[in-house]
Amino acid sequence: MDDKYLPLLSKQNCWWEGRIEDDVHLTAWRAQAPHWMPFNLKELPLEAFSLNIITGPRQAGKTTLIKFAVEKLLKDGVQPKSIFYLRCDEVSDASQLREIIEAFLAHGGSGEVFIFLDEITEVAGWEKTLKGFVDDGDFRKAVVTASGSNAFQLRRGSELFPGRRGSGRDILVLPLSFRQYLEVVDAERAALIPRLAELHPILIAEARKLLAQLPRLQKHLLDYFQCGGFPLAIPSHLKHGYVSEDAKEAYKSWVVGDILKNGKSDAIGREILKVILSKAPTPVSWEGIAQETSIKSPPTVASYVELLERLFVILPLYAINPDTGSREFAKNKKLHLTDPFLWNLCEEWCLQKIERKTDVLAEACLAYHIARHLTAKYRARRLSERVAYWRNGHEVDVVAQSKDGLAGFEMKWSDKKTAFPYKVGPVKNVTYISRSYFNEKNPTVVPLAIFLAML
């Protein structure tokens, strides 16, 4: 190993000295209560050649997943110095990245090697560096796993490897869904809840059986509205009944820091988020947002929203033409934040009260969870790819696009029967989602806590 890199790499690869138990991420994970695995390790390919791409927001568990993969390899008998981890925010440029990887390959032995490149999107031109190693055959005995928090940059970079990723796959690590949250805080109850394989038709008979569990599920859902699924927020909320200021600051630093790293202004980002919070869940235009900010530029607003989508902060829903299934991009957009905790965080940061907040969070959670489900099912390139909304006289809050066609979901945080009229419109198969009201058909109405618990 090149001596000039040895101090940095020895510190990041403590298992080279046989001390995986001293790893800072695993130590912090085990000290946290409750704790959970961010991803099923069995789904991470670890046979050569593989080029895996892990995406997801910061502080959601990507690094923890990598460190557990290292621990698994060590337990399986892999030689410690055949496993290499690099935190790329300490790498100056693509040239240095190449030098470091070359130095490791020269000293990693002649057998399989395992290379983990964490937050690789911090290095401009990373994709060309990795492509060079792949094309030259240097990775033929390697399992390479690269992670990053900028979804579009990672996906765009991975497009340079068509047919060149071996057994590798794309892995999305997100904050816990409501069902995953239940598995952490109420595991016995969660184990009894069936999982929906398809969004439509909903398993009405199974949903009816869960009505006896609804009061408890409702309580968990309201807690989830406070802390969301982020690893730092959940333990704090369970222990204190609120999310600590340290946890809030960690996630605010992520949002602000990544806005700045991408050449944008955090002040303008804050202005735009403030308007989004004030309008939610009403569809808005880039022009309408721009008029309420200091920049007055619709293209600038669009660029900030695109960045915040890349960072897993915003989930945009575009209008859909139900006759053709195509998006109508010129129409107003519904702009949801993703995880519930982000709504609370941005409400404080932007000094913008969210009106009818529970209604807003309920609709946003519905859209986000349907987007997650479809993204996983179809390996979509972005969360917004298979979700939209429809409005023409009346509205369908979320339109899900699957191989079987369109399915609509209308969120009404209400228990009044009159809130759920039976309508026949261009979006067929519409299911109402309620606070606690249940109805089997004409129309089908399912409580949100039950629907999300089954998803």
What is the percent of the chain with per-residue pLDDT over 70, rounded to a whole number? 96
pLDDT, tens digit, for every residue of 206-242? Answer: 899 999 999 999 999 999 999 999 999 999 999 999 9
What is the reported pLDDT for 157?
A: 66
The verdict on 141 and 199 lying in the same domain is no
Q: What is the pLDDT of residues 146-183, one digit of tens each?
A: 998 877 677 666 666 777 788 888 889 999 999 999 99
Query: pLDDT above 90 covers what percent of the chain?
Result: 65
The Cα 172–Cα 366 span in angstroms is 19
Same domain as 357, residue 212: yes
96 lies in the same domain as 197: no
Residues 6+ apart with CB under 8 A from 107: 1, 81
Quick check: 216 and 233 in contact, CB under 8 A?
A: no
Q: Output the pLDDT for position 109.
A: 65
Q: For 29-33, 93-97, 133-137, 317-321, which range has the lowest pLDDT when averaged over its residues? A: 29-33
pLDDT at site 375: 94
Kindly state whether residues 76 and 211 are assigned to the same domain: no
What's residue 3's pLDDT?
A: 67
- Domain boundary (154, 172, 190) is at 172
Per-residue confidence at 21, pLDDT binned at 50, 70, 90?
A: confident
Of the residues 127, 145, 172, the one at which a domain ends: 172
Is 80 exceeded by the pLDDT of residue 396?
A: yes
Question: Is residue 260 domain-shared with residue 190, that is, in the same domain?
Answer: yes
Arithmetic mean of pLDDT, 277-301: 97
Q: Where among 172, 201, 232 does a domain terminate?
A: 172
Nearest to 286 by CA among 320, 321, 335, 319: 335
Report the range of poorest mean pLDDT among 253-257, 271-275, 286-290, 379-383.
379-383
**Residue 292 shares a structural domain with residue 381:** yes
The answer on 403 and 261 residing in a single domain is yes
Domain count, the chain: 2
**pLDDT above 60: residue 22:** yes
Q: Are residues 213 and 82 in the same domain?
A: no
What is the per-residue DSSP string for 186-206?
Answer: -HHHHHTSPPPSSSSS--HHH
What's the CA gap between 81 and 450, in Å, rounded?
48
- Highest average pLDDT, of 101-110, 256-265, 356-365, 434-443, comes from 356-365
For position 65, which CATH number holds?
3.40.50.300
Do residue 29 and residue 139 come from a single domain?
yes
Rounded Cα distance between 324 and 326, Å, is 5
* Enclosing domain of residue 365: 178-454
- Mean pLDDT (the chain, rounded): 91
Pair (310, 282) in one structural domain: yes
Q: What is the mean pLDDT of residues 22-38?
A: 82
For the record, the structure tokens of 296 come out as: 């007055």
Specify whether 355 is located in the same domain as 444. yes
Same structural domain, 132 and 232 = no
pTM, two decimals, is 0.92
